[in-house]
């Protein structure tokens, strides 16, 4: 099932013609209306008229998160304030918040794209959607909400938190689709188990999970424990919110980027050079239709690769692989690059461990020290010393073998690691503090 059959299955040639037309238009709009872009185009000596083919996008300047911060709050807006109908903002834990705006048409397009996502996950207007993404300045809650309504599904706006109550609502209302971060879904699952509610016996059929990195192993764990399909949705507030790309249920192999609205590129995060299709690097997105804050070559910092081969679902839009990590989350431990998701994969492949973990990086003298804290499964007791010691040793060996770093392993008791209500905090970096 495809929400916008014509647009989502456009032959590549037609899709690219549409992208080029929209790329030219967005360049003209930002050049005319956003002083930041006029300056950065001028500095590089490019003008909107230089865009003659899609490849010419590489002549354009990048936009970074810092540019949005420098122009806080409204400096990047390309429309008069009275045309903005909605504001969202990122939490701003590291510096100023980034503020984004939407015109009525932006909100409409967003709802349509999220409706496409729901249909990618096999949802229809007959479904009941339990939406546990946070409502508020965070884009997750309202983004999924408008999409579910646009689809015509029954939307249950639960938001995050009050976890015990959520479990009861899931049972009583009989939701068939759930939207949440994967880590919060695990918390819901665990709470349900404690309350004697078996997710497997509920009508819940599919989860639309995103907003944080997660691994294929985590997907398997969720699918098995809840007997649902776990699908992956991607997005970021600067570019829109959830719904930039979404995995189809037919293949569950990569997320289709809605290319009639976003132009993706993969670059080398160090040099900024564009990489050929298939290579892994930083995802860069140009918004093709956004009115309030159009962004040219926005550097997402997310590491992925693009797959242009045909997908069995029939959609022609390119697929991006599961996010490997963020280039700014990549841990450099004594010169070795490690992504938290790689550690997650190993932990979840190890019998006896739970999916709750935290990675702590510290510095002892001049050396980086990596510690992985992970909860053992409830059935295991910390007094089974021998078994635990061998588990620790094996884990340390596997991490060394696969990632090339030595990690100190600390097995901790069930429920020691803080549960997240939204995005999980997987890494605590104490270096430089």
Which residues would be at the binding site for ligand DLL (CB under 6 A)? 90, 133, 139-140, 210-213, 232-237, 241-242, 300, 302, 323, 326
- Give the distance from CA 410 to its chain's centroid: 28
Give 48 or 210: the residue with its C-beta nearer to ligand DLL: 210
**CA triple 225-353-211, angle to 5 deg:** 60
Q: How far is the CB of 240 from ligand DLL (least distance, A)?
A: 8
Distance, in Å, from the CA atom of 317 to the CA atom of 37, rounded to the nearest integer, reads 28
Smallest separation (angstroms) from ligand DLL to the CB of 239: 8
How many CA atoms, within 13 angstroms, populate the side-chain half-sphere of residue 308? 13
Indicate the residue whose CB is closest to ligand DLL: 210
Count of all residues that appear for the chain in the document? 433
Cβ distance to ligand DLL smaller for residue 95 or 404:
95
DSSP-H helix ranges across 288-384: 340-349
**Closest CB 367 distance from ligand DLL, rounded Å:** 29
Of the two residues 160 and 210, which places its CB atom closer to ligand DLL in the complex? 210
**Minimum Å distance from CB 426 to ligand DLL?**
11
Our CB check for ligand DLL shows the closer of 302 and 375 to be: 302
Handedness of CA 96, 98, 101, 107 (dihedral sign): negative
H/E/C letters for each residue in 229-274?
EEEEEEEECCCCEEEEEEECCCCCCCEEECCCCEEEEEECCCCCCE
Task: Please state the closest distance from residue 230 (CB atom) to ligand DLL, in A.
Answer: 11
From the CB of 169, what's the least distance to ligand DLL, in Å?
Answer: 20
Which residues have CB under 8 Å from 273's CB, separation 6+? 267
169 vs 330, which CB is nearer to ligand DLL? 330
Taking the C-alpha atoms of residue 341 and residue 330, their distance in angstroms, rounded to an integer, is: 10
Q: How far apart are CA 372 and CA 391, in angstroms?
A: 13
Which CB, 27 or 99, lies closer to ligand DLL? 99
Virtual torsion, Cα 76, 79, 80, 85, nearest 10 deg = -100
> Radius of gyration of the chain from Cα atoms?
22
Least gap, CB of 382 to ligand DLL (angstroms): 32
CB nearer to ligand DLL: give 216 or 371.
216
Q: Could you tell me the smallest distance in angstroms from the CB atom of residue 219 to ligand DLL?
A: 11
Phi, psi at 388, each rounded to 5°: -70, -40
Nearer to ligand DLL (CB atom), residue 121 or residue 323: 323
CA-nearest of 234, 213, 231, 230 to 221 is 230
């Amino acid at each position: 099932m495809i929400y916008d059959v014509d647009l989502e299955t456009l032959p590549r040639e037609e899709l690219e013609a549409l992208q080029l037309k929209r790329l030219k238009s967005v360049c003209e709009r930002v050049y005319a209306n956003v002083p930041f872009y006029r300056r950065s185009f001028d500095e590089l000596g490019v003008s909107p008229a230089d865009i003659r083919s899609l490849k010419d996008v590489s002549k354009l300047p990048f936009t970074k998160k810092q540019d949005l911060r420098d122009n806080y709050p409204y400096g990047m807006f390309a429309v008069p304030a009275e045309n903005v109908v909605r504001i969202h903002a990122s939490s701003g834990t590291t510096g100023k918040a980034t503020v984004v705006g939407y015109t009525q048409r932006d909100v409409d397009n967003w709802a349509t794209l999220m409706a496409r996502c729901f249909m990618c996950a096999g949802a229809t207007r007959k479904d009941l959607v339990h939406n546990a993404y946070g409502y508020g300045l965070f884009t997750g809650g309202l983004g999924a909400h408008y999409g579910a309504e646009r689809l015509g599904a029954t939307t249950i706006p639960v938001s995050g938190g009050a976890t015990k109550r959520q479990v009861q609502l899931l049972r009583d209302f009989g939701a068939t689709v759930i939207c949440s971060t994967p880590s919060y879904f695990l918390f819901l699952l665990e709470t349900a188990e404690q309350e004697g509610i078996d997710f497997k016996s509920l009508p819940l059929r599919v989860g639309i999970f995103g907003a944080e990195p997660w691994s294929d192993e985590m997907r398997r764990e969720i699918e098995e424990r809840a007997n649902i399909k776990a699908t992956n949705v991607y997005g970021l507030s600067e570019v829109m919110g959830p719904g930039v790309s979404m995995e189809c249920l037919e293949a569950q192999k990569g997320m289709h980027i809605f290319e009639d609205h976003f132009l993706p590129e993969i670059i080398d995060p160090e040099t900024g050079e564009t990489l050929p299709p298939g290579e892994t690097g930083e995802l860069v997105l140009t918004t093709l239709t956004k009115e309030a804050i159009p962004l040219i070559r926005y550097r997402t910092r997310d590491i992925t690769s693009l797959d242009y081969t045909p997908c069995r679902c029939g959609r022609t839009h390119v697929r991006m692989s599961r996010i490997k990590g963020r280039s700014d989350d990549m841990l450099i431990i004594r010169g070795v690059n490690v992504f938290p998701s790689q550690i997650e994969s190993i932990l979840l492949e190890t019998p006896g461990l739970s999916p709750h973990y935290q990675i702590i990086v510290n510095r002892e003298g001049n050396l980086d020290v990596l510690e992985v804290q992970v909860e053992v499964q409830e059935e295991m007791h910390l007094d089974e010393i021998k078994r635990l010691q061998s588990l620790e040793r094996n884990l340390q060996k596997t991490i060394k073998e696969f990632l090339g770093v030595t990690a100190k392993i600390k097995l901790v008791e069930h429920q020691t690691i803080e549960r997240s209500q939204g995005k999980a905090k997987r890494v605590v970096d104490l270096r430089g503090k």
